[in-house]
Structure 1
């Protein structure tokens, strides 16, 4: 049995840029100084309630699609919501959005669902807005590092 804490990353990555962002989150979370955290990265279509129930914290990632989250992330929530509802209250989470516009509707949708689940946000949403910038990768790497370091330190 492993004593490692489990960080789950569930992120939709339909393009090379969004795949790069998801990889940056995972790279940050797998920092070599963090020895007590195991990172699992899944597409929303491959993730489900069992993955959520097994984790100690979760990072969500999505594109902004017509002012909403990706259909893949919505599908993940549809399949996971009720099986996790009473079992994951207080789950620490963070999320990032690759937004071509402002990400407002996407943020609102994710916050609404996670509020219903009673998950605990541990930092503000990271919104990578507008034209793609290399800085988004650094921000995503920092997000992964922050979550994993917090788990490693026992902060949540």
Structure 2
């Protein structure tokens, strides 16, 4: 296909509930009526700087661990930050956090790193707070759809 774009989803999903959220994001992004977007899904540990360098947009997902992002999400940033720093400025990205508490520490840390990378937030962060709720899956599916449809339409 011409004009094929790539949406990279980097998701830390260590539990059945976070796997449901991952699957919902992927389902939204892979809607059949979006045909110019290739969706790549990777765990943070499996994601390389080349993956980030070759994508047109990114969705990042992490759990809140002790008021901070998951260690594997931080490892992703540690490995990718400098190789991507001068080459991914303006990269559209979205974020969702599965937070047992409030997610503010996690959001603050990721915002700081994304600001340093000069990535462009394509949508306000989604923070799935507190007890697990079915609505989280609907919100995640909408997030995946929003990002893929935005790439498909050329607006992000």
Q: TM-score range by the shorter chain?
A: over 0.9
The answer to whether 1:75 aligns with 2:96 is no
Structure 2: runs of 5 or more not aligned: none
How many positions carry a matched residue from both structures?
Answer: 156
Q: Distance in 2 between matches of 1:153 and 1:45?
A: 31
| 1:27 corresponds to | 27
RMSD of Structure 2 on Structure 1 (CA): 0.9
The answer to whether 1:127 aligns with 2:127 is yes
Q: Distance in 2 between matches of 1:98 and 1:21?
A: 9
The SS at the match of 1:132 is: coil
Offset of 1:107 from its aligned partner? 0.3
The SS at the match of 1:155 is: coil
The SS at the match of 1:62 is: strand
Give the 5 Å matches for 1:1-156.
3-156=3-156
Structure 1 residue ranges, 4+ long, deviating more than 4 angstroms after superposition: none
Offset of 1:4 from its aligned partner? 1.1
Offset of 1:3 from its aligned partner? 3.1
Structure 1: runs of 5 or more not aligned: none
Q: Distance in 2 between matches of 1:120 and 1:86?
A: 14
Q: Distance in 1 between matches of 2:117 and 2:143?
A: 22
Q: Distance in 1 between matches of 2:91 and 2:3?
A: 18
**What TM-score, normalized by structure 1, do the two folds share?**
0.98
Offset of 1:2 from its aligned partner? 5.5
Q: Distance in 2 between matches of 1:76 and 1:104?
A: 20
